[in-house]
Copies of this chain bind each other. A is one copy, B any other.
Amino acid sequence: MAEDDTRSLAEAADLAAQLRVDSIRASTSSGSGHPTSSLSAADLLAVLVLRHLRYDWNHPSTATNDHLIYSKGHASPLVYSVLRATGQISEEELLTGYRRFGQRLQGHPTPVLPWVDVATGSLGQGLPDGVGIALAGKYLEKLPYRVWVLCGDSEMAEGSIWEALDKASHYELGNLVVIVDVNRLGQRGATALGWDLDAYARRTEAFGARVLTVDGHDLAAIDAALHDVDSGQDDRPTVILARTVKGKGVAEVEDSPDWHGKPLPGDLAEEAIEALGGVREMTVTSIAPPQAESVEGPAESPAESPATSSDTSSDTSSDTDPAATPDTGAGAEQHSSQPDAATATASSQRSGAVMPRYRHSDRVATRKAYGAALVALGEIDPLVVGLDAEVSNSTGAGAFAEAFPDRFFEMFIAEQQLIAAATGMAVRGFKPFASTFAAFLSRAFDFIRMGAITGADLRIVGSHAGVEIGADGPSQMALEDLAMMRSVLGSTVLYPSDAPSTVALVAQMADIGGISYLRTTRGSYPVIYGPAEEFPIGGSKILRSNGMDDVTVVGAGVTVHECIGAADLLAREGIGARVIDCYSVKPIDVDTLAEAVRHTGGRLVIAEDHHPEGGLGEAVIAALTDVEDVGALSVRHLAVRDLPGSGTAAELLEAAGLSAGRIARAARELFDERDAEHDAQGNVR
């Protein structure tokens, strides 16, 4: 940092007062928000943005810009006050746009604003996301930016904070600086540790951080700590513990447990603003980020950074385009990210012969096919990154880890950090594929949900789905994951039945916007499709049909094989089954499904290795209900309705009613019923 870029501590005091005044004004104007949580951190932010944050505010997409993440997202009045001080939003927007309908200054910050990397507001997520960005900066982009994260003290109770610090020290993220605003008060009262900064210091130090403790309202002390960061970083992440006072600067609310999330009433706000010296018009100027060339890269850097061959890391620090957008590809409105040049090239190459191929005689687990496909993708697309939560030898990701050790990140058994790291990498323009057992993705649901609000393009892969896994028992069986992933805003949910369809879907995942999910199976099953077959997202495949079908039988993943078996059984009895492989669960191929049930008199059997709620069955039924001329349906919905135990895959599928025999029986029942109805009306079928 060049000293002449920066401004004096007297100016920082002025800025801190302005941030306080503006935080009060924004929240009082909207009658909603968290001013006291903003006031405690105003001094910290004033010194940071005025003297240490290397950030070109006019060009937030600048590759070497530092990153500033508000993990305590409820301090949004402070976030927006900083943006006004940096000239990015107007006073009018601050006073009329905060927390209002249709406005971008939302209750908690989201990447609708180009200066915001990730949506926060679910506590304990900003830091894990920041670890993801810091991983990208150090190992993938090799850029000299730093990642600053402002945490609240309450959120230090979240386990995800400790997963993040654990990984930050394991991966030697000296580029990560965490500032903890220890104002001792949570929403409903005191935190468990209060102002015991020593306790926080012991914990963060034990987790491998370099820890600095400061009075969070002593500008010189704050500055000294941040200067220490500027000049003295090693390979440890830095944690700055700042003792602060909630509501600092407004005597009436200081250190009071009764003022969380409450704007000051108009008269109190006026007095407070007066006492703070009134409205100011100070402007923060950018501190130029360093040129990428100036970075002293770690000697142990991987040889070739994927990012250096893409526009993600192009030197845009001299970028003068005022319309520059963030380089995240994310943003709440942007679920379909624009493919960049590198992606477009990769996409076109993807149609080539590099993807793995399988023969009809092969028996292959889709989780293995996933690994093979990811390796192939890695060859042609330098932005593809792999992450796994200590089960890469089971999920298939191990093949990628072996082929591309520089682009694979072991997150150990920490599923929240797994998804957060992927989110941070996606924010930086990479294409993370994050895998673990599908059952354990439930650990990270809140992170996936918030990833959707961030608008991050996350590829998530869950293996060992359903009772099919067999002997390991119910703790390892994902039976809720389709419901979970379908419920995520804008998500894509894929569930292939064989190796070629897996490969085709994984290839497309590289280019899907938003949250995409691939569900894979433990066991090895026959290859169904030829290598030239295409599997468009939102499509399906008709696997059995003779034009005279009597019943529609729908499966996905492992049940497709059982549905084929059921069709064979039914054929012997003269019943024609149209078997549909619903490999795209969301979006679902409603046209093919509607055509099938029209053709088969509304008779429909659906078989899924999942609980009955929220999965394939409800997806199919809900989609058909949207079609006006489908008519009445006669449905048998086969799903896992009881608690399974251990057993073989065959035993457990049979017990759950998902075997070929049970599917055929369900289909047969639809005819028996129809017969019974006809009988009641004096007719015969």
Contacts and interface: CB of A to CB of B under 8 A. Distances in A.
A52 interface: no
A303 interface: no
A361 B155 CA distance: 40
Nearest to A413: B157
A487 B476 contact: no
A233 B370 CA distance: 51
Contacts of A490: 643
A227 interface: no
A32 B124 CA distance: 38
Nearest to A478: B449
Contacts of A123: 413
Contact of A158 (B332, B414, B633): B414
Given A30-B471, A647-B102, A166 B187 contact: no
B645 A187 contact: no
A394 interface: yes
Given A110-B475, A188-B390, A487-B615, 4 more contacts: A101-B647, A453-B474, A586-B613, A625-B633
Contacts of A94: none
Contact of A187 (B206, B394, B470, B472): B394
A613 B619 contact: yes
A432 B489 CA distance: 32
A439 B449 contact: yes
B445 A443 contact: yes
A116 interface: no
A241 to B, nearest CB: 13
A290 interface: no
A646 B473 contact: no
A120 interface: yes
A577 to B, nearest CB: 19
A103 B390 CA distance: 29
B106 A646 contact: yes
B442 A449 contact: yes
Contact of A643 (B166, B398, B489, B652): B489
A222 B643 CA distance: 38
Given A412-B154, A475-B120, A453 B643 contact: yes
Contacts of A240: none
B203 A474 contact: no
B632 A475 contact: no
Contacts of A398: 188
Contacts of A415: 446
Given A187-B394, A484-B445, A611-B487, A102 B413 contact: no
A475 B32 CA distance: 16
A206 B200 CA distance: 8
Given A414-B158, A634-B628, A475 B108 contact: yes
Given A32-B471, A166-B192, A192-B170, A648 B101 contact: yes
A268 interface: no
A367 to B, nearest CB: 14
15 contacts: A99-B471, A101-B645, A119-B475, A157-B390, A157-B412, A159-B416, A170-B192, A206-B206, A442-B446, A443-B445, A613-B614, A613-B619, A622-B622, A625-B637, A628-B673
Contacts of A393: 187-188
A207 interface: yes
Interface string A359-397: 000000000000000000000000000000011111000
Interface centre among A332, A470, A487, A647 (most CB of B within 10 A): A487
A119 B618 contact: no
A186 interface: yes
Nearest to A125: B475
A189 to B, nearest CB: 8
Interface in A462-494: 470-476, 479-480, 483-484, 486-490
A470 B119 CA distance: 17
Contacts of A414: 157-159
A471 B631 CA distance: 42
Nearest to A171: B192
A28 interface: no
Contact of A483 (B105, B614, B628): B614
Interface string A152-187: 001101111111001000100000000000000011
A630 interface: yes
